Amino acid sequence: MPPTETPALPRRLAGMLYEALLLIGVIAVLVLLPETIYAEHASRTAAPWLMWLHLELVLAAYFIWFWRHGGQTLAMKTWKIRLVPAQDRHDGSSGISLRQALLRHLLCWPSLALAGVGLLWALVDRDGQFLHDRLAGTCLILVSAAPPTTASRPQQTGKSRLA
């Protein structure tokens, strides 16, 4: 089987920027709206640590759900990038485990916070992957270079649509 192509670094960074723009709406509805309602009824805001925890849980739920259901967030679909287990990078047909999704999500924050060192890792990585992908056992591939996952393949019923 031919090797699966890794998306170019500019494509992945553009996808991350697009993801951030999409998440503004998600955060506004699922984080800021509840905080505003709480502050209105309680006459005070929630504790800052509680707001950060709430934000992290919303972001974790968003990313983990999309990564586990098709391997792509909304931005990843737009940029034709899919997340797959590293051991399946050449066929790209299986999804990542819950453990891998959680680990990738938790490891991406230090990668970003430490001056993007985890992202710059892609420049020296033998497969061009981010550090958090390497540590989580995942990798990013181009969708055009990968076959569809079993979940996205149409079911064969044995009957022709024309019959």
Instruction: Please name the amino acid found at residue 137.
Output: G
Which band of pLDDT confidence, cut at 50, 70 and 90, is reported for residue 89? confident
| Cα Rg of the chain, angstroms | 19
Distance in angstroms (rounded) separating the CA atoms of residues 47 and 56: 14
Average pLDDT (94-99) is 94
Does the pLDDT of residue 4 top 90, yes or no? no
Which band of pLDDT confidence, cut at 50, 70 and 90, is reported for residue 146? very low
Q: Mean pLDDT for the chain?
A: 87
The half-sphere exposure of 133 on its side-chain side, counting CA atoms within 13 A, is 24
| Contact predicate 104/79, CB 8 Å | no
| Contact predicate 108/129, CB 8 Å | no
CA angle in degrees (0–180, nearest 5) for 140-144-147: 85
Which has more confidence, 155 or 63? 63
Distance in angstroms (rounded) separating the CA atoms of residues 23 and 153: 28
Which has more confidence, 97 or 88? 97
Does the pLDDT of residue 162 top 80, yes or no? no
CA angle in degrees (0–180, nearest 5) for 143-104-100: 80
Instruction: Please name the amino acid found at residue 84.
Output: V
Quote the pLDDT of residue 159.
Answer: 54
Quote the pLDDT of residue 42.
Answer: 81
Quote the pLDDT of residue 115.
Answer: 85
pLDDT in tens, 23-58: 999 999 998 888 888 888 887 777 889 889 999 999
Instruction: Please name the amino acid found at residue 53.
Output: L
Predicted TM-score (pTM) of the model is 0.80
The alpha-helical segments, DSSP class H, found in the chain are 9-27, 33-42, 48-68, 74-78, 98-113, 117-120, 131-136
Does the pLDDT of residue 141 top 90, yes or no? yes
| Contact predicate 150/93, CB 8 Å | yes
